[in-house]
Each structure stands twice: as structure tokens, then as C-alpha cells.
């Protein structure tokens, strides 16, 4: 059901009992309650309760998830009302303006923290600088003061559960989460978080080199690696290559090699066997089934597809249409 249009300037200004936003369930009702709280209750001169701020933050998260612009329009309307209708010469008017400005500041810092997290996971390589980690730490403290665990609930849980960040992206997020927790308890430092993420970055560099070397060594006949002897042989070959590249001092750790071997074999099987079928039959379901069952990162699968299209001289838009199918 659409949110009814509200005549903001026709609203009365007398004191009103705040609507219990926590009892609301739909996004539309929560947004109406946002307007109602500021437009009716500011004359009471009370500070904005954390329970109301929590509901508004959750509504903001839902609006982002649904790509719903009405939340932003409503915030703009409420801001206009506060500027035009609340009187700075009395205590209740000052409190109303203060409440709105505090809410806007919290929303802004939440958005900034989200932007920096997305940049760290999807776009920027290397270790986040101290400024970024200080911004995230401040947002952690502010949101968790409203409700314990709110920073993770608003900014990390959906991202960690998604397949978009990939294996290493999720590892960065969980280590960031642990590091911020230690920082908030004064058992860790910004430098400790950077060291955590630096180890993950190093591991990712090694893993990429392992997968690339394995793909070149295996070729299209990946069945020959079934035995332990063949596995040990290829592990020694790849270890020598990585030492030559100065990425390792000794041998590849077994756990890292096994992950790399699985990724390499799955990647080759996808490009050589499944992808030609997916493209020729426009089979989006087979593609999704492979991504789900193989454990390969979605972004890695897209890189493999782009490589395959270039190798096989296939127009990339054929895959774009398959990717976009529900």
C-alpha cells in the first residue's frame, strides 16, 4: 500500500504523544511515524528516544535494500517542516531541531561507514588507512550505544551473508568485525586491525598465484591430479614458482594449496565444460547452480566468463543477458 500524501504545513503543532514506532511492522508505517513524531511531538520538548532512532535506522536500511527513494523524500520534507515551523525562541522548538539534526548526523555517519566498508571490500586493494578505521570505530561506538550489535546488524550481516564479497571479502569483513570489537574493549589497536587485514591481503596474493599456476599446469586434463603423488608433484612445482616470485619462503601450506587446487579445477571445469552449455542454451539456472555448489566467488566467475568470451570470440552481451535473468 502506498504512503498517503501528507500536507505538512496543515499539521497542528500542539503536544502529542509519540507514536510507538517499534510496534510498527511495515516500512510505510515506520516512515509515517517518522513524520508524525517530529511534526506532532516536538512541543513536548523531549529528546528523541533511542528506540525511535533504532526504528528509523532500520527503516533506512530497508529503503536502501529496496531502492526506495521515498524515505529520502520524507526526510527532506520533515527537515523542511522543522526549519519552517519550529520556533527557535522556545525550548520545545530548539529540542525539535536538535533531535532532527542529531538524527541526520547519525544517518550521515552510517552512510559514510557503509561507503568505506564497500570500498574496502569491492574496490580498494591494500590496507585501509587509519582515517577509515577511525571513522568505522566511531560509527561502531555510536550505533552500538543505541543497541548492542547494531553496527553489525546495519552494515555487515547482509554483506557477510551475501555471495558478492567472495571468500576473501567475507574474511576481510569478519576480521574487521573482530578488530573493531577488540578496539571498543581497549584490547586492540588500529594497527592491530591493519595487521589482520595485511595478513589476509598477503594470503589472497598467494592464493591468486597458486590458482593461476595450477590452471597453467593442469590445462584441460585436470583428471590427472586424482592421486596423492600427482598432487605432491604439482604442489612442489607451484611452490618453486612462488618462491621465485618471492611470495613464499618455504612450501605452500597444505590448507592454502587445497583451496587453490579446488578453485583451479572448478574454474577450468566451468570454462571448458559448463560455460559453453550455459551460453549456447542461455541456461541461467545452470550458472546459478554452479555458483551455489562450487563455492566460487561470483566476481571470480564473472572474470572467468570475460576471459572465456575473449578466448572464444563470444560477444560479452550474451553473458550479460544470462546474468541478469532472475
Grid cell for residue 17:
504523544
Query: CB of 309 within 8 A of CB of 299?
Result: no
Q: How far is CA 134 from CA 108, 141, 184, in A?
A: 15, 11, 11
CA–CA distance, 30 with 75 (Å, rounded to integer): 12
Cell numbers linked to 88: 527557535
**Grid cell of 140 as nine digits:** 561502531
Taken in order 108, 114, 117, 122, the sign of the CA dihedral is negative
**Structure confidence at residue 303 (pLDDT):** 83
**What are the pLDDT tens digits along the chain (326 aa)?**
333 333 333 333 333 333 333 333 345 666 665 655 665 544 445 677 888 888 889 888 888 888 878 788 878 877 887 777 776 777 667 777 788 888 889 999 999 999 999 888 877 667 899 999 999 999 999 999 999 999 999 999 998 888 778 777 888 899 999 999 999 999 999 999 999 999 888 888 888 888 888 777 776 555 545 555 677 888 888 888 888 888 788 888 888 888 888 888 888 889 889 999 999 998 989 998 888 888 777 877 888 898 888 888 988 888 888 887 76
Packed helices 190-218 and 130-146: angle between N→C axes, nearest 10 degrees? 110
Give me the torsion for CA of 308, 314, 320, 325, rounded to 10°: -90
Are 248 and 206 in contact by the 8 Å Cβ rule? The answer is yes
pLDDT at 281: 92
Q: Helices in the chain by DSSP H: which ranges? A: 27-41, 50-65, 70-85, 91-118, 130-146, 150-155, 157-161, 166-184, 190-218, 228-244, 254-269, 275-281, 284-294, 298-312, 317-323
pLDDT at 3: 31
Res 133: pLDDT? 96
At residue 18, the pLDDT reads: 36
**What's the pLDDT at 228?**
58
Amino acid at each position: 500500500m502506498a504512503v498517503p500524501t501528507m500536507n505538512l504545513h496543515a499539521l497542528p503543532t500542539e503536544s502529542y504523544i509519540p507514536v510507538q514506532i517499534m510496534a510498527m511492522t511495515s516500512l510505510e508505517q515506520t516512515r509515517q511515524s517518522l513524520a508524525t513524531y517530529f511534526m506532532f511531538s516536538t512541543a513536548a520538548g523531549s529528546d528523541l528516544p533511542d528506540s525511535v532512532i533504532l526504528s528509523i535506522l532500520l527503516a533506512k536500511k530497508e529503503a536502501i535494500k529496496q531502492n526506495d527513494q521515498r524515505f529520502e523524500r520524507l526526510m527532506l520534507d520533515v527537515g523542511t517542516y522543522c526549519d519552517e515551523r519550529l520556533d527557535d525562541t522556545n525550548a520545545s522548538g530548539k529540542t525539535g531541531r536538535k533531535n532532527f539534526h542529531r538524527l541526520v548526523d547519525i544517518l550521515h555517519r552510517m552512510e559514510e561507514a557503509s561507503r568505506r566498508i564497500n570500498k574496502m571490500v569491492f574496490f580498494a586493494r591494500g590496507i585501509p588507512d587509519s582515517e577509515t578505521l577511525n571513522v568505522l570505530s566511531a560509527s561502531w561506538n555510536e550505533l552500538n550505544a543505541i543497541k548492542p550489535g547494531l553496527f553489525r546488524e546495519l552494515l555487515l550481516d547482509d554483506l557477510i551473508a551475501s555471495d558478492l564479497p567472495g571468500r576473501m571479502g567475507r574474511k576481510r569483513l569478519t576480521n574487521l568485525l573482530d578488530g573493531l570489537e577488540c578496539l571498543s574493549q581497549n584490547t586492540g589497536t588500529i594497527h592491530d586491525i591493519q595487521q589482520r587485514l595485511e595478513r589476509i591481503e598477503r594470503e589472497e596474493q598467494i592464493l591468486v598465484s597458486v590458482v593461476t599456476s595450477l590452471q597453467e599446469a593442469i590445462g584441460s586434463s585436470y583428471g590427472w591430479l586424482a592421486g596423492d603423488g600427482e598432487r605432491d608433484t604439482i604442489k612442489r612445482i607451484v611452490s618453486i614458482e612462488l618462491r621465485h616470485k618471492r611470495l613464499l619462503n618455504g612450501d605452500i601450506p597444505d590448507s592454502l594449496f587445497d583451496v587453490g587446487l579446488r578453485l583451479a579445477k572448478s574454474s577450468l571445469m566451468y570454462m571448458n565444460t559448463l560455460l559453453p552449455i550455459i551460453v549456447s542454451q542461455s541456461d541461467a539456472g545452470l550458472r546459478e547452480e554452479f555458483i551455489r555448489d562450487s563455492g566460487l566467488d561470483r566476481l571470480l566467475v564473472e572474470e572467468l566468463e570475460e576471459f572465456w568470451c575473449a578466448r572464444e570470440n563470444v560477444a560479452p552481451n550474451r553473458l550479460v543477458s544470462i546474468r541478469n535473468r532472475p
